[in-house]
Structure 1
Amino acid sequence: MKTRLFAKRSVRPGEHFGAPGQGSAAGIASATVAALLLLWVVVSNAGWVKPLFLPTPQAVIEKFLLVATEGFAGATLLEHTLTSLSRVLGAFALACATAIPIGVMMGVSRVARGVFDPPIEFYRPLPPLAYLPMVIIWFGIGEFSKVYLIFLAIFAPMAIAARSGVRSVSIEQIHAAYSMGATRLQVIRHVILKSALPEIFTGMRIGIGVGWTTLVAGEMVASTRGLGFMVLNAAEFLASDVVIMGIIVIGLFAFVFDLMMRHFEKVLVPWKGKV
């Protein structure tokens, strides 16, 4: 009884020897956020920076309540948010339906890799503003052109991540599946796709982040609603409190979506980092 009572508890792999990066950083992250907020409060309220360049948190909160109730640039904050969400999520869903299958095909087929790799690698480094004029010329200034611009920005990192995930599958696993009588389709479905899921989820996380960063560029042209439009419209009138409020809202939504993707990854890919 005494031996069982004072027995050493098991530790996670690497914990005993201090593996690099082991442990939770939630406490440090919370302290960092609190320190940055405190610095903002002190600097803005002490008058070290003019309100035009850095409004106080109180002014931003007041503007948030005002825009949420009375609106800004012809729409309330909820209407701006729903418009931007529909654009980003629509582009993200379209990218998931196309980029992931194409990335997988690029990984398992040299023909697909030869067809899709050059155009993807060509336009991937280009900023969305570079091909925005061509998107407007081809598709006009309607809603589709905005969604398509965001889709193009999301597509490349997701396709490349899927291709990289497929190419990183251990050849021993593939040979083991073939030795047990698996067909080519079974190997792709049960071995390659499952092994590539971690990198596919990483590409999805990167893609949704890129989508939010491209939102402002997409809403530069003939927009009447949207968070990006609201920020750009406020900047024209030097309303820095609205600009910072819009930046915070966009950042919060991007952060929430990233947390959701992490949760889905833990649920669907529980073996990540354990094999």
Structure 2
Amino acid sequence: MSSSHPDVVRGPRRWLGLLASLVVLLVAWSVVAAADLVEPHYLTPSPLEVWDAFVRANSYHPVGGGVDRVVRGEEHYFLWEHLVVSLRRIGLGLVLGVVVGVPLGLLMGTVRWVGDLVGPYVDFLRSLPPLAYIGFLVAWFGIYDTSKVWLLFLAAFPPITLATINGVRGVKQDQLNAARSLGASGLQLTTQVVLPATLPDILSGLRVAVGFAWTTVVAAELVNGLPGIGGLAYLSGTQNKIALSVACILVIGLTAIALDAVIRSIEKLVVPWRGKA
């Protein structure tokens, strides 16, 4: 007598469902592109044209109709190099968001008057769209990476801070009382009780922050954003290289999904008790 584990059966079914939906999407996309519903034709590139643009952006190729002049990728960088530069900028913004947001969230969650005083400012930053203050950051910090990292930090900082506050407020009072009865100091309470209990929420906030950072990267790279995947997506759109722009968008989206999967894997490794009774 044998039985299949639900997770074992569900895994292949899930991947088959994803593969089928991808095939349907590609077929529908190809049909729409071939139907010439939008004029001129290059505004609706087919999947094959997007793939060609992706390959071209990652290889040496001739320009100007001749073979004498060969260029490297797009804007003298391969697409993966544009992506790496953007990842570095996003990484710096996220690191700053964690370094500032986690301690501030712990303080706001444990000291009531600090939360009441600083909370409205965090909510204010969270509600602002990146384009609202990119001009100020460029004026203050210049057109190079500093202004871009600041913008990405401001996108990542609020969700990390708010997630930390929610985690602190979810710590059970019994845990704190038990630690106090054993003679734990205020610092020990924070580092050995509050912070570990808050870690799942911090990682959830980090996942949200990564999403916000990726949605902000194009705005961050509007000014002097090359090399950078967001800057290339914007520039190629302004130059009517729509296939390349779509390729950049797909790379951004797939990279964001991959990063989210990495964070979820880290979450399962670091806080395996989450979601268990």
TM-score normalised by L of structure 2: 0.85
Instruction: Tell me which of 25, 39, 52 is aligned to 2:42.
Output: 52
Deviation at 1:46, TM superposition (A): 4.8
Moved more, 219-228 or 209-218: 219-228
Flag the 1:180–1:80 CA change in 2: closer, same or farther, 3 A. Answer: same
Distance of aligned partners of 1:245 and 1:9 in 2 relative to their CA distance in 1, 3 Å threshold: closer
- Listed one character per residue, the Cα deviations across residues 22-76 of structure 1 (whole Å, up to 9, x for unaligned) are x778344444334323322333245455542321111111111111113123322
- What is the CA deviation profile of residues 77-136 of structure 1, one whole-angstrom value per residue up to 9, with x for unaligned ones? 132122211111111112112111111111112243244323211221010111112112
The equivalent of 2:58 in structure 1 is 68
User: Partners of 2:169 and 2:206 in 1: how far apart?
Assistant: 17
Match of 2:260 in 1: 258
Q: How does 1:26-175 map to 2 (within 5 A)?
A: 26-27=14-15, 28-48=17-37, 51-70=41-60, 71-175=73-177
Quick one: distance in 2 between partners of 1:216 and 1:250?
Answer: 10
Q: Judge conservation of contact 1:43–1:49 (CA < 8 Å) in 2.
A: no
Structure-2 residue corresponding to 1:204: 206
Q: How far is 1:177 from its partner?
A: 2.6
Q: Distance in 1 between matches of 2:174 and 2:47?
A: 57
| Alignment counterpart, residue 248 of structure 1, candidates 247, 250, 263 | 250
- Matched-pair contact (CA < 8 Å) for 1:73–1:233: no
Give unpaired runs (5+ residues) of structure 2. Answer: 61-72
**CA offsets, 1:200-234, max 9 Å, x none?**
11100010111111110011112332111111111
Q: Which stretches of structure 1, 4 residues or more, deviate above 6 A after TM superposition?
A: 8-12
In the alignment, which of 254, 264, 272 is matched to residue 270 of structure 1? 272
When normalised by structure 1's length, the TM-score is 0.85
For residues 222 and 274 of structure 1, do their structure 2 counterparts lie closer, same or farther at Cα, with a shift above 3 Å needed?
Answer: same
Q: In the alignment, is the contact (CA less than 8 A) between 2:225 and 2:232 conserved in 1?
A: no
Deviates more, 1:59-68 or 1:116-125: 116-125
The 10-residue stretch of structure 1 (46-55 or 250-259) with the greater mean CA deviation from structure 2: 46-55
The structure-2 alpha-carbon separation of the partners of 1:35 and 1:175, relative to structure 1 and needing over 3 Å to count, comes to farther
Count of aligned pairs between the two proteins: 260
Alpha-carbon distance in 1 for matches of 2:23, 2:199: 35
* CA RMSD between the two structures: 2.5
Matched letter for residue 52 of structure 1: Y
CA drift at 1:171: 1.9
Equivalents in 1 of 2:14, 2:203: separation in Å? Answer: 22
Q: What is the identity percentage for the equivalent residue pairs of Structure 1 and Structure 2?
A: 35
**Shift in CA distance, 9/53, structure 1 to aligned 2, threshold 3 Å:** closer
Match of 2:221 in 1: 219
